Chain A
Amino acid sequence: MVRIYFAGIDLGSTMTKIVIINDDEQILAYVVHHTGAEHRHLANRVMEEGLAEASLSIDDISFVMATGYGRINVPFADRQITELSCHARGVASFFPNVRLAIDIGGQDAKGLKIRDGKLLDFVMSDKCAAGTGRFLEVIAAALGIEVEDLGGISLRSKQKVSVSSTCTVFAQQEVVNHLSAGVPLEDVVAGLHDAMASRTARMVQRLKVEPDVVFTGGVAKNAGVVKALEENLRCPVLVPEEPLLSGALGAALLGKEHVLKALARGETIQTGERRLDRATFFEKE
């Protein structure tokens, strides 16, 4: 039997994610890399890594779907779809009963209203870094803490402080003030998480908060934010095992759907002519 393979690549502002699946929707490989300055031109390398892990060559892949902030400039992609649709699809494949998905990435925060696996409506943050993953990164860096450690620290808090500045840079200032005044670190970090969660909760309210609520994106790895979000939304929040992958997985799945539709129309799918060119990244956005 001939297998068909699909790849989804999600070029986020901070992380590059690749998922390779087969026509049974099994995940054969996934790679998550920092989209750090040195990696920006290297989407093709990340792809190579994914292919190696799946023991496939680029010619085996029937369809590459690109999504995320840098989706426009992936030369080896067949098509681009927004991360909104891809996240919705990816999240629904993990949690079929999802009705509200929240994704907090490095660059923005999104709320997705999903019914029967389909994206119906969405909201997005804009303009500034408040309420995005960058918010926590910037502050963690200022505190000299690894961003991964924030969650654990905040869970020790007994009495969170309030962080009122919306501007990330000034919130950082506020944090320093609190610490200087002798507030324990865990209470300050818990305050940051709460500020972020309440901002997110306000943003997604218009979509109606109904379970299942699923939380993805880099920030979903932070148990402190998850807890704060549950408090602010007043309902349980589900987090997939690998919360960074929903976009890339959704992209691969949408790629598969695209191919199946094409096949159903009697079109043939092309393979074997793909070149893994370097990405000319972030051209327009």
Chain B
Amino acid sequence: MAEPSKGLLRAQEIYQDRSRRALELQKQGKKVVGYLCIYPVLEMMTALDIVPYRIFGDMREPITKADSYIPAVNCPFLRSCLDLGLKEKYSFLDGIVTTHICDVGSSLSGIWNYTVRTPFSFHIDTPHTLHETSLEQERGLLEDYQKALEDLTGQKMTKERLQEAVRVHNEQRALVRELYELKKQDPPLISGVETIRVIKAIQSIPVDEGNKLLREVIDEVKERNDGPQKKSARLLVWGSILDDTALPEMIEGLDANVVMDDTCVGSRAYFGDVELTNDPLDGLSHHYLVDIKCPRTFRTRDYTDVRKDYMTDLAVRFSYLRDYVRDWKADGVIMESVRYCDTHGYDVPGVRDYLDSVGIPSIYLEHDYTEGALAPLRTRVQGFLEIIE
């Protein structure tokens, strides 16, 4: 490799040419397995030396091929992913792992199998509740997943290898959190735009390389004097998927910095470690089902409780957002969702109720995952900034 450029620049290079490293590694004989969303337990891929490669859409590329396989009234992000698959942008993948992230995500696994025909595929039917039985079920599903990955690689996933993988991935989580710590300063040391580039970059390369990149970025950012400007407002973005810098670019082009996020190409996958249990599958199933806070899972205070109180329920589900707002000193919350996202859509009034109850202003933005459609949202964001001023 040539002289490595500095962290942020490297992150940007990977962001712009995501598959380069994966293709290099593939030439060296490694398997590259694609995955959708943050539920397909990456530790288990890493343990077998598989390169996990996250499948993203492209909001700058019109969807032309996917429409004959998924009607347009479905999640434009997933439609875009399939569209790129049909345009052979993911034909290098050795496999694909999907989970029940949502109905469309589940359907997509069958459609992908029928059309894109990635050689290996596995679907994890992640349960929706935190019932004890669901935890056992998730664990059982991971055992099957383990068998499938072992078949793919012809290698055995020993306890030691898996524990080591958990350790490296926990390290990655810690590094991402360290990076987000730097956003607590005012102005934040790293912008929302840069954050997305970094996260997307580490989701395109092996975990150890990602950790190295994160270290470089953190060291660089700590010392930088070309960071974001101080702005009037600090914002938290909650929502579905932001895999492109366009939205934070629009927001940060106004008088605001995105200082924290809870989206699935952001902090959501990295807050909370996997417990190093004796049998690693115990810690992994618990982490992926319980710790990751995505609306696709039904959460409640105590599922055996026969009493119910709305505000308590909201606090149980969303108080972490209040903590984020407090710790990152956010002035308001942007709730963001791609159109036709049911799981986030049902939660919007609840999140708003909760934020209202704790006195945090919020605004809901829905977009159809095209770069151009973001421009009209600018007036809304600016109006929101004027309200919270």
B interface footprint on A252-285 (CB within 8 Å = 1, 0 otherwise): 0000000000000000000000000000000011
Docked-complex contact B386 and A84, CB < 8 angstroms? yes
List of B residues within 8 angstroms of A120 by Cβ: 387
Docked-complex contact B386 and A81, CB < 8 angstroms? yes
Q: Is B28 an interface residue when CB atoms closer than 8 A count as contact?
A: no
Q: Please report the C-alpha to C-alpha distance between residue A124 and residue B364 in the assembled complex, in whole angstroms.
A: 11
Minimum CB–CB distance from B42 to chain A (whole Å) comes to: 37
**Do A119 and B373 form a contact, CB below 8 Å, given A84-B379, A124-B380?**
no
List of A residues within 8 angstroms of B383 by Cβ: 82, 84-85, 119, 122
Number of residues in A with C-beta < 8 Å to the partner?
A: 15
Q: Is B375 an interface residue when CB atoms closer than 8 A count as contact?
A: yes
List of B residues within 8 angstroms of A127 by Cβ: 368, 373, 376
Minimum CB–CB distance from B377 to chain A (whole Å) comes to: 8
List which A81-96 residues lie within 8 A (CB) of chain B: 81-85
A83, A119, A121: the one within 8 Å of B379 (CB): A83
**Which of A82, A84, A122 neighbours the largest number of chain B CB atoms within 10 Å of its CB?**
A82
Q: Is B378 an interface residue when CB atoms closer than 8 A count as contact?
A: yes
Q: Please report the C-alpha to C-alpha distance between residue A83 and residue B376 in the assembled complex, in whole angstroms.
A: 13
B375, B376, B379: the one within 8 Å of A82 (CB): B379
> Which chain A residue lies CB-closest to B385?
A82
> Which chain A residue lies CB-closest to B387?
A119
Docked-complex contact B376 and A126, CB < 8 angstroms? yes
Q: Please report the C-alpha to C-alpha distance between residue A121 and residue B383 in the assembled complex, in whole angstroms.
A: 9
Q: Is B357 an interface residue when CB atoms closer than 8 A count as contact?
A: no
Q: Please report the C-alpha to C-alpha distance between residue A261 and residue B212 in the assembled complex, in whole angstroms.
A: 50
> Which chain A residue lies CB-closest to B389?
A85
Q: Please report the C-alpha to C-alpha distance between residue A126 and residue B375 in the assembled complex, in whole angstroms.
A: 11
Minimum CB–CB distance from B1 to chain A (whole Å) comes to: 39
A interface footprint on B350-389 (CB within 8 Å = 1, 0 otherwise): 0000000000000000001000010111111011001100
List of B residues within 8 angstroms of A81 by Cβ: 386
Docked-complex contact B373 and A85, CB < 8 angstroms? no
Docked-complex contact B373 and A82, CB < 8 angstroms? no
Docked-complex contact B380 and A285, CB < 8 angstroms? no
User: B-contacting residues of A (Cβ < 8 Å)?
Assistant: 81-85, 108, 119-122, 124, 126-127, 284-285
Known pairs A81-B386, A285-B378. 12 more at Cβ < 8 A? A82-B382, A82-B383, A85-B383, A85-B387, A119-B386, A120-B387, A121-B387, A122-B380, A122-B387, A124-B380, A127-B373, A285-B375
Provide 24 A-B residue pairs closer than 8 Å at the C-beta atoms, listed in order of the A residue: A82-B382, A82-B386, A83-B379, A84-B379, A84-B380, A85-B383, A85-B386, A85-B387, A119-B383, A119-B386, A119-B387, A120-B387, A121-B387, A122-B380, A122-B383, A124-B379, A124-B380, A126-B377, A127-B373, A127-B376, A284-B375, A285-B375, A285-B376, A285-B378
